[in-house]
Amino acid sequence: MIPTIESIVDKTQAVYSLPLFYDRLNEKINHPRSSLADIGRVISEDQGLTVRLLKLANSPLFGYHSKIDSITRALTLIGTQQLRDLALAVSVMGSFSGIPNELIDMKSFWKHNIACGILSRSIATFRREVNQERFFVAGMLHDVGILVMCTAIPDAVRGILLERRQHGGLYYVSEQNSLGFGHGAVGNALLAKWKIPLNISEPIACHHSPASALKYPLEAATIHLADIISHTMGHSLTADWRVPPLDNAAWDLLDIPVNQLDTIIRQSETQIEETAAILSEAA
């Protein structure tokens, strides 16, 4: 029997859930009368999260001169929406920590995704986008669909991985051929169930087909390009992973000079290492 996206997500939901606190955090942020201290208190309840957020806030990712030693200060300097988005990335990464290494190497998986997140953020910075953290989150979670499928339909994933290896093809094409849908759609379905905003979930859904993004084509194009760059930097799930083809329309939409690619890569490089070290520490 061929599984459906719904059955896969339902199966995963029983195993992984987004920490309850994310809902409460959103509630606090959206409530007109809550103060920074209120929001800070919700985050501080999760000690592991607090530690990682503070480490990120003090890493080269932000490059502040003075030390950020409290969540309230981080909220002031980085911004509530941005810190919420970072908290989301850290929480989702944490909720998938139990997946066995048997099918895919989790370390490579997160390195690739973090690289994609940082590169998306660098591209957004270059393009002077507002709220760059959502680019980081979308990039960092763009492949969660693969993890969901590893949990729900491990045998199908094993088959797809094998076919990819034998024919030297593209993973998402093999997925499409054997299941009729890919990890973008699966990741999107899970995030929708978790009520993650569309500006994060749609680019994830469309990272291999940026032309199909209806509301956030620019975000989708950014993740699409960042995914390709991270593969060319050697941050792939396996050493023989094929670089996905570039969508011309997405590239044109981004309007980045070709000679900026080197700068974007250079700027991202150290941030990728630092961020990966901070985020994988506690796992």
Are 203 and 130 a contacting pair, CB within 8 Å? no
Q: Is 255 in the site for another protein (CB under 8 A)?
A: no
Q: State in angstroms the smallest separation of the CB of 242 from another protein.
A: 5
Among 192, 251, 273, 282, binds another protein (CB under 8 A): 251
Place of tokens 């620019």: 218
* Helix/strand/coil for 83: helix
Burial class (CB in 10 A: 0-12, 13-18, 19+), 77: middle
Contacts of 42 (CB under 8 A, 6+ apart): 21, 24, 25, 28
Q: Is 244 in the site for another protein (CB under 8 A)?
A: yes
Q: Is 161 in the site for another protein (CB under 8 A)?
A: no
Backbone dihedral angles phi then psi of residue 207, each to the nearest 5 degrees = -70, -20
Q: State in angstroms the smallest separation of the CB of 162 from another protein.
A: 18
Sole window of 38-46, 153-161, 165-173, 186-194 interacting with another protein (rule: CB under 8 A): 165-173
Alpha helices in 183-259 (DSSP H): 183-193, 198-205, 217-232, 248-254
Can you tell me the distance from the alpha carbon of 70 to that of 15, in angstroms, rounded to the nearest whole number? 32
Complex with another protein: residue 10 or 129, whichever CB lies closer: 129
Among 87, 229, 276, 279, binds another protein (CB under 8 A): 229
Tell me how many residues contact another protein (CB under 8 A). Answer: 28
Q: Is 259 in the site for another protein (CB under 8 A)?
A: yes
Sole window of 3-11, 107-115, 209-217, 240-248 interacting with another protein (rule: CB under 8 A): 240-248
* Helix/strand/coil for 64: coil
Complex with another protein: residue 192 or 261, whichever CB lies closer: 261
Angle between helices 133-140 and 80-95 (to 10 degrees): 10
List interacting residues with another protein (CB under 8 A): 126, 168-170, 228-229, 231-234, 240-246, 248, 251, 258-263, 265-267
